Amino acid sequence: MTTTLADTWGLHESQFWLRGKQPAERVRHAADLGFWNVYGHPEAEEILRDPGTYSSDTTRLVPKELLEDVDLAAMSAGNLLQLDPPLHNKMRKLVSRAFTPKVVADLEPRIAAVTTEMLDEAGGSGRLELVEDLAYPLPVIVIAELLGVPASDRHLFKGWVDKLLNASEQFSLKEQSEENQASVKKSLEGQKALVEYLGEHVDERRTRPRDDLLTKLVEAELDGEKLTRNEVVNFANVLLLAGHITTTMLLGNAVLCLDTHPEWDERARADRALVPPLIEESLRYLSPFAAVARTTNREVQLGGATIPAEQMLMVWVAAANRDERVFAEPDTFNPLRDPNPHLAFGRGIHFCIGAPLARLEGRVALNTLFDRYPALRTIPGEPPKFQVNPNMTGVRELPLTTG
Ligand code: HEM
CA of 123 to the centre of ligand 1 (A): 32
Farthest CA pair distance, the chain = 63
pLDDT tens digits along 222-245: 889 899 999 999 999 999 999 899
> How far is 111 from 115, CA to CA, in rounded Å?
6
What global pTM score does this model have?
Answer: 0.95
CA of 232 to the centre of ligand 1 (A): 18
The pLDDT-based confidence of 74 (bands split at 50, 70, 90) is confident
pLDDT tens digits along 272-287: 999 999 999 999 999 9
What is the mean predicted confidence (pLDDT) over 44-67? 90
Return left, alpha or beta for 13; rule: phi > 0 is left, psi -120 to 50 is alpha, else beta: alpha
247 lines ligand 1 (CB under 6 A): yes
Percent of the chain with pLDDT over 70: 98
> How far is 242 from 104, CA to CA, in rounded Å?
16
358 lines ligand 1 (CB under 6 A): yes
User: Between the ranges 6-15, 179-188, 361-370, where is the mean pLDDT highest?
Assistant: 361-370
Neighbours of 211 (CB within 10 A): 7
pLDDT tens digits along 97-143: 889 889 999 999 999 999 999 999 998 899 999 999 999 999 999 99
Are 201 and 157 contacting, i.e. CB atoms less than 8 angstroms apart? no
Does the pLDDT at position 207 exceed 60? yes
252 lines ligand 1 (CB under 6 A): no
Residue with CA closest to ligand 1 atom 42: 354
> How far is 41 from 164, CA to CA, in rounded Å?
29
**Which is the closest atom of ligand 1 to the Cα of 347?**
15
The predicted structure's pLDDT at residue 175 = 63
> How far is 72 from 60, CA to CA, in rounded Å?
9
Count CA within 13 A, CB hemisphere, residue 308. 5
The pLDDT-based confidence of 181 (bands split at 50, 70, 90) is confident
Does the pLDDT at position 208 exceed 60? yes
The residue ranges of every structural domain in the chain are 52-298+341-401
Does the pLDDT at position 364 exceed 80? yes
User: What is 204-253 written as a DSSP string?
Assistant: HHHHS--SSHHHHHHH-EETTEEPPHHHHHHHHHHHHHHTTHHHHHHHHH
Cβ contacts of 15 within 8 Å, gap of 6 or more:
6, 290, 318, 319, 390, 393
The predicted structure's pLDDT at residue 64 = 73
CATH architecture entry for 52-298+341-401 = Orthogonal Bundle (1.10)
What is the mean predicted confidence (pLDDT) over 3-15? 92
Nearest Cα neighbor of 176 from 62, 74, 15 is: 62
The pLDDT-based confidence of 307 (bands split at 50, 70, 90) is very high
Question: What average pLDDT is seen over the chain?
Answer: 93
